[in-house]
Each structure stands twice: as structure tokens, then as C-alpha cells.
Amino acid sequence: MKIDEVEQPGFILKDSLLEEIRLYWNEHIHDLELAKHPVGSKGFFADLDEYRFDKLRYLPEVVDFSGYADKRILEVGCGVGIDLFRFARGGAKVTGVDLAEQSVDLAQKYFAHHDLEGTLQLGNGEDLEFEDDTFDMVYAHGVIQYTANAKKMVEELRRVIKPDGEVIMMVYNRVSWLNFLSQTLGVGLEHEDAPVLKKYSIDEFKKLLENFSSVRILPERFPVKSRLQSGLKAIFFNSFFVPAFNLVPKTITRNTGWHIMAFAKK
Ligand SMILES: C[S@@+](CC[C@H](N)C(=O)[O-])C[C@H]1O[C@@H](n2cnc3c(N)ncnc32)[C@H](O)[C@@H]1O
């Protein structure tokens, strides 16, 4: 598949860091290596969905994918569209934008395999082409931490939701079990080589969201057995760390969740 198969005249990035980010994500599609089926096939997307929702078991518990029927949803940084597909399957009118042509192209294929409607296009979350107050919900899961100017993106997400709408976001927690484990065991985290990767404390994330009228923060993503590692570290992680961690009451570990979810009102 060639990058310029997705054509969108007028999509020009003036910021060189954003251009670097775009190039990186064109070559590092999130979770791509986890799929067993050929890239772009129906089975490929089923693999990615299965992997994602096994790893992120919390996600369907805190995000009601089928609760937005007839609502307008925008996903910024939609990747290959795994989450957006679930919203669309639940009846939402969905739009997905991403900087990376490869992702947009794959997301279009995913929807086409299932005859599902959705607008999937190139777009920069720091400079959205939509009018103010357009969407009932805007979703940006694992995106703000990778963009050049997080504040600019967050303000754009806020601008395009309707006055009674909601923005749902996720960034990585610097003060988390996974960051601690990665530093003590020397295990690399996914996409640590991305041009931008910022991890936040809960307070830093709240500060970033200070212009919203209300924000509910929910740290999530606690240890589950990993398919990514192998060898002694994997045995330690899967057989000792995961069961031991999960014995500790959530009231103690809650703020160490790797994913800081935020549910924000305009
Ligand atoms: C880790 S992936 C997450 C993809 C998807 N949201 C998920 O949860 O699987 C980060 C995505 O954010 C996109 N991205 C980064 N900066 C962006 C920006 N300024 N505008 C739009 N997309 C952006 C990347 O192209 C990439 O697809």
C-alpha cells in the first residue's frame, strides 16, 4: 500500500515537528504487529479489536460504545479505527481524523469490510476543520501525549464539542505502576521512540484541562498478562507481578493506573 493512496488536497502541515510525527505514525501503526491476518483484511481488524479489548479490559466499562446512537462523534487520532468502529456499530454518526495516511486508509478499509458508514479523513487535531459546537462527543484516546502542542489540541477538542457535549481523553500516567516497572526492569514501553511522547501526573493533566468547566479523572489500565514480552522478564511479569499487584485493593493502587482517563465538559 502506498502512502499517497489517500489523497486529500489541502492537507498541508506547516509545523515541521507535526510533519515528523506524521511520518513516524505512518510507519508505526499502533499494534499492527499483533495481528495474525494480512494487513487490511477483515481478520486483521478482528485481531486488533480482540487484542485491544483484551489488554484494555477497562475501556468498555468506562466508555459506553453503544450509548451514542444518532449522536455525532469525532475521534481525533483515530488510528485504524478500532474504537471508532465500535461507536459506529452502536449507531453513532462518526468522523475520524488522523495525521497518518496509512491509518486513515486502513480505517476506511475496516468500515468498508462491514458496510459501516463513517467519515474517515486526514486531519490535524491541533487545527480541526470543523465549526465550533459541532459534536456531541469528542474522543482522543492515546493521542494528546504524542502531538506537538498538547494545549492546542485540547483547546481544539473543547472548541468543537457542543455546549452540553463531552470530551473523553486518555494520556499516560508518569506516576504509574507501568512506568515504575519499565524503569526498574529496563523494559521499553511502546512508541517510546516517537518524536513526541509526554507522560503526565494527574495534576499536570488536570492543569492541561483547566479551561473545561468540569473534569472527571479516572486512572485505569492495571496489569494484565502480556503477550508482548518473552523470556525471564515475561515469566516474572505474568506469573508473579500481575497476580500480586491485583491482590492489592484498588483503593491503594487506583492512582497508579497507566492510563489517565478524563471526561470533560465544555
Ligand atoms: C498511539 S496511536 C493511538 C491510536 C488510537 N487512538 C488508539 O487508541 O489505538 C496515536 C495516534 O495519534 C495520531 N496523532 C498524533 N498526533 C496527531 C495530531 N496532531 N492530529 C491527529 N492525529 C494525531 C497518530 O497518527 C496515531 O495514529
Residues within 6 Å of ligand 1 by CB? 21, 25, 30, 76-79, 97-100, 103, 123-126, 141-143, 146-147, 153, 191
Residue 1 above 70 pLDDT? no
CA distances from 72 to 65, 102, 123, 196 (A): 13, 24, 17, 29
Q: Where along the chain do its domains lie?
A: 3-265
Residue whose CA is at the smallest distance from ligand 1 atom 2: 30
Convert the pLDDT of each residue in 199-252 to its tens digit.
999 999 999 999 999 999 999 988 877 766 667 777 877 888 788 888 888 888
Predicted confidence at residue 180, as pLDDT, reads 80
Residue 121 to residue 115: CA distance in whole angstroms = 17
Convert the pLDDT of each residue in 15-61 to its tens digit.
889 999 999 999 988 777 778 899 999 999 999 999 999 889 899 99
On whether the pTM is more than 0.75, the answer is: yes
Residue 3 above 50 pLDDT? no
Q: For cell 526498574, what's the residue? A: 184
Residue 12 above 70 pLDDT? no
CATH 3.40.50.12280 is held by the domain 3-265: no
Ligand 1 atom showing the smallest separation from residue 190 Cα: 1
How many other C-beta atoms are found inside a 10 Å radius of the C-beta of residue 162? 16
Q: How many angstroms is it from 76 CA to the middle of ligand 1? A: 7
Residue whose CA is at the smallest distance from ligand 1 atom 14: 77
Q: How many angstroms is it from 75 CA to the middle of ligand 1? A: 10
From 98, 102, 128, 153, the mutation candidate for ligand 1 (largest count of ligand atoms within 8 A of CB) is 98
Give the ranges where 114-255 is alpha helix by DSSP (H): 150-160, 177-185, 202-208, 232-235, 242-247, 250-253
35-44, 67-76, 97-106, 172-181: which has the minimum mean pLDDT? 172-181
